[in-house]
Amino acid sequence: SDELMVAPSFTVCGAGLAGTLAALYLARQGNRVTLYERLPDMRTHSVPRGRSINLALSRRGLHALEALGLAPVIHPLTIPMRGRMIHSLQGELTFQPYGRTPEETIFSISRHQLNCALLDAAAHWPNLEIHFQSRCVGLNLSSMTLEIEDTRTRTVRQVSARTVVGADGAFSAIRQALQRTDRYDYAQTFLPHGYKELTIPALPGGQHALEKNYLHIWPRQDFMLIALPNLDGSFTCTLFLAYEGAESFASLTDEDAIRRFFDRHFPDVTPLMPTLVEDFQHNPTGSMVTIRCFPWQYAGRVVLIGDAAHAVVPFYGQGMNASFEDCFVLDECLRRHNGDTSAAFLDYQQQRKVNTDALAELAYENYLEMRAKVASPWFLMRRRLEYALSNLLGDRFLPLYTMVSFTRIPYAEARARAARQDRWLDAALATLALLVLLALLWWLWPAGR
Ligand code: FAD
């Protein structure tokens, strides 16, 4: 076929968030780019209920979008979230700002609208071609031929590719081809918790039923509910709950059990969820996985980006942000090495692997801490102290959350710096406690003894 004769310079598999942004960067460099996506065009077809309806977009992700000039189309799709609004069991609200200044906010954005905006932008490039309903089912690394299945007719054709970008998500078919090569490292680890999406519809007047500019959290030790605002006045809630156990997805099987569970643990929000039981029973329960693999590239001919290279659990809200950062760094590497893909892919992998490994750790640590810690007074006090120190010392003391969400400091560096700051703060607090104790003893010591 024609495609076999003139291979595009880059073939991208997966027109999700990472794949479409990467294709845009590659097209901007003047490459001929072909993008294959297994699903129909989401701008004209409805998408199946699936992974997270809305996402938290922060500095790294925004930066990668802005660098392509996409700010004017993305900003109107976002809702600023200035901090966490913690809902206690008694319905008390506690506000925890995310940033040190009002400008330091994260943004809620619909996955669907963001992906559509990227696809719209992609349609403007004459050197970028998108094929929907085209699933990549195999890649032959020696001949560099891709097997593309037309999902309507189930027919498979061979297309030749010069360079392949695997952006086909956590269960990437492109990565599977790499996994069959010698000494390939691969590990996947699932959490014992799953997640389910629920909804708080807009009030009859179209307003939000909870305060709009916050990420709402109901931390309940072993499980947690969160809610992110949507532009249409609704909130998308996500319940994170164990698969097995006394209170788990396995035990919430009938309407009664579901209602009892929500009335008991989330009494302030349940009345705002008229379709709770129906949503609970019909929406899929999603699993959460960490995927680590290495190498991310093969002979300068194949490279992995986004979840295909590094799926992380969603508790830092950074999976997409890191995937967008991949696209930015890959673009930089290709330019630095004048399009020499062998050198560029090695450079990219060298820069990114260590950082996304650090992100995987950060996200897992947050999984352990977020359900319980954000509600603890000790955590709150320490957090306030960190922010106060940061205001005092400026960029010499940056809270971890600030480094991850509001700067582009590489994840590994942010994690190491935060560990140093923690040790320093622990030592300072211990010294302070000792001084207070000594002062107290001095004061209590009977005079004249
Ligand atoms: P995907 O989004 O999975 O896209 C892959 C694309 O490839 C899809 O379009 C798919 O249809 C297509 N595809 C798959 N297989 C094939 C094939 N064989 N051939 C052709 N096409 C194929 N990140 C954040 O930054 N902030 C958040 O707040 C956040 N919240 C999250 C909440 C949850 C519950 C979850 C699960 C994740 C969250 N994430 C968040 C992470 C984020 O969703 C992912 O990191 C991001 O979607 C990765 O983008 P991607 O393009 O690499 O993969």
CA of 281 to the centre of ligand 1 (A): 23
* pLDDT value, residue 448: 56
Indicate whether 48 pLDDT > 70: no
- H/E element holding 131? strand 128-131
Indicate whether 84 pLDDT > 80: yes
Phi-psi label, residue 394: left if phi above 0, alpha if psi -120 to 50, beta otherwise: left
pLDDT digits (tens, 9 = 90+) for 292-340: 999 999 999 999 999 999 999 999 999 999 999 999 999 999 999 998 9
pLDDT band with cut points at 50, 70 and 90 for residue 377: confident
Contact present, 149 and 131 (Cβ < 8 Å):
no
Q: Confirm whether 248 is domain-assigned.
A: yes
| CB atoms near residue 91 (< 10 Å) | 10
| CB atoms near residue 9 (< 10 Å) | 18
Indicate whether 148 pLDDT > 50: yes
CA of 307 to the centre of ligand 1 (A): 6
- What is the residue-averaged pLDDT of the chain? 94
* pLDDT value, residue 102: 85
Examine the domain organization and report whether 209 and 311 are in the same domain: no
Examine the domain organization and report whether 296 and 337 are in the same domain: yes
Q: Confirm whether 92 is domain-assigned.
A: no
Examine the domain organization and report whether 282 and 308 are in the same domain: no
* pLDDT value, residue 354: 98
369 vs 115, which has greater pLDDT? Answer: 115
CA of 20 to the centre of ligand 1 (A): 11
Instruction: Say which DSSP state 51 is in.
Output: S
CA of 240 to the centre of ligand 1 (A): 18
Examine the domain organization and report whether 116 and 213 are in the same domain: no
* pLDDT value, residue 2: 45
Examine the domain organization and report whether 268 and 412 are in the same domain: no
Q: Confirm whether 343 is domain-assigned.
A: yes
C-alpha dihedral sign at 12, 137, 17, 110 = positive
Structure tokens at 49: 């209920």
Indicate whether 74 pLDDT > 60: yes
Q: Of 322, 340, 366, which closes a domain?
A: 366
Q: Of 287, 304, 328, which closes a domain?
A: 287
Indicate whether 257 pLDDT > 70: yes
pLDDT digits (tens, 9 = 90+) for 431-448: 999 999 999 999 998 765
Indicate whether 246 pLDDT > 60: yes
Q: Confirm whether 295 is domain-assigned.
A: yes
| CB atoms near residue 64 (< 10 Å) | 26
Residue nearest to atom 14 of ligand 1 (CA): 168
* pLDDT value, residue 449: 56
Q: Quick one: average pLDDT of 106-121?
A: 97
Residue 253: which of 287, 285, 219, 224 has the closest Cα? Answer: 285
Q: What is the CATH number of the domain that holds 49?
A: 3.50.50.60
The C-alpha atoms of residue 88 and residue 265 are separated, in whole angstroms, by: 9
Q: Confirm whether 49 is domain-assigned.
A: yes
* pLDDT value, residue 383: 83
For residue 72, say if its preceding peptide bond is cis, omega within 30 degrees of 0: no
Residue nearest to atom 37 of ligand 1 (CA): 314
Examine the domain organization and report whether 128 and 27 are in the same domain: yes
Residue nearest to atom 52 of ligand 1 (CA): 306
Indicate whether 8 pLDDT > 90: no
Q: Quick one: average pLDDT of 342-368?
A: 97
Q: Of 243, 261, 287, which closes a domain?
A: 287
The C-alpha atoms of residue 90 and residue 420 are separated, in whole angstroms, by: 37
* pLDDT value, residue 1: 45
User: What is the number of domains present in the chain?
Assistant: 3
The C-alpha atoms of residue 217 and residue 215 are separated, in whole angstroms, by: 7
Q: Confirm whether 97 is domain-assigned.
A: no
Examine the domain organization and report whether 256 and 277 are in the same domain: yes
pLDDT band with cut points at 50, 70 and 90 for residue 369: confident
Residue nearest to atom 3 of ligand 1 (CA): 169
The C-alpha atoms of residue 338 and residue 343 are separated, in whole angstroms, by: 9
Q: Quick one: average pLDDT of 233-237?
A: 97
Structure tokens at 346: 């090695």
Residue nearest to atom 18 of ligand 1 (CA): 136
- In terms of residues, how long is the chain? 449
What is the per-residue DSSP string for 220-267?
A: ETTEEEEEEE-TTS-EEEEEEEESSSSSSTTT--SHHHHHHHHHHH-T
The packing angle between helices 341-373 and 319-336, to 10°, is: 160
Residue 244: which of 268, 267, 222 has the closest Cα? Answer: 222
Indicate whether 4 pLDDT > 50: no
pLDDT digits (tens, 9 = 90+) for 154-179: 999 999 999 999 999 999 999 999 99
Per cent of the chain over pLDDT 70 is 96
- Residue 186's SS3 state is strand
Q: Quick one: average pLDDT of 70-80?
A: 98
CA of 71 to the centre of ligand 1 (A): 21
Domain that holds residue 226: 190-287
CA of 180 to the centre of ligand 1 (A): 23
Ligand 1 nearest atom to the CA of residue 318, by list position: 25
Q: Confirm whether 94 is domain-assigned.
A: no
What is the per-residue DSSP string for 358-407?
A: HHHHHHHHHHHHHHHHTT-HHHHHHHHHHHHHHHHHGGGS--HHHHHHHS
CB under 6 Å to ligand 1: residues? 13-19, 36-39, 51-52, 55-56, 135-136, 167-169, 173, 195, 238, 286, 306-308, 314, 317-321, 323
Exposed, middle or buried, 30 (CB in 10 Å: 0-12/13-18/19+)? exposed
Examine the domain organization and report whether 58 and 150 are in the same domain: yes
- Residue 8's SS3 state is coil
Mutate to test the pocket of ligand 1, among 49, 323, 401 (most ligand atoms within 8 A of CB): 323
Indicate whether 274 pLDDT > 50: yes
Q: What is the CATH number of the domain that holds 224?
A: 3.30.9.30
The C-alpha atoms of residue 357 and residue 381 are separated, in whole angstroms, by: 29
pLDDT band with cut points at 50, 70 and 90 for residue 108: very high
Examine the domain organization and report whether 314 and 296 are in the same domain: yes
Q: Quick one: average pLDDT of 204-230?
A: 96
C-alpha dihedral sign at 349, 355, 356, 361 = positive
* pLDDT value, residue 7: 66
Q: Quick one: average pLDDT of 264-275?
A: 97
Examine the domain organization and report whether 142 and 214 are in the same domain: no
Q: Confirm whether 413 is domain-assigned.
A: yes
Examine the domain organization and report whether 64 and 184 are in the same domain: yes
Lowest mean pLDDT among 64-73, 155-164, 316-325, 393-402: 393-402
The number of CA neighbours under 13 Å toward the Cβ of 159 is: 27
Examine the domain organization and report whether 178 and 320 are in the same domain: yes
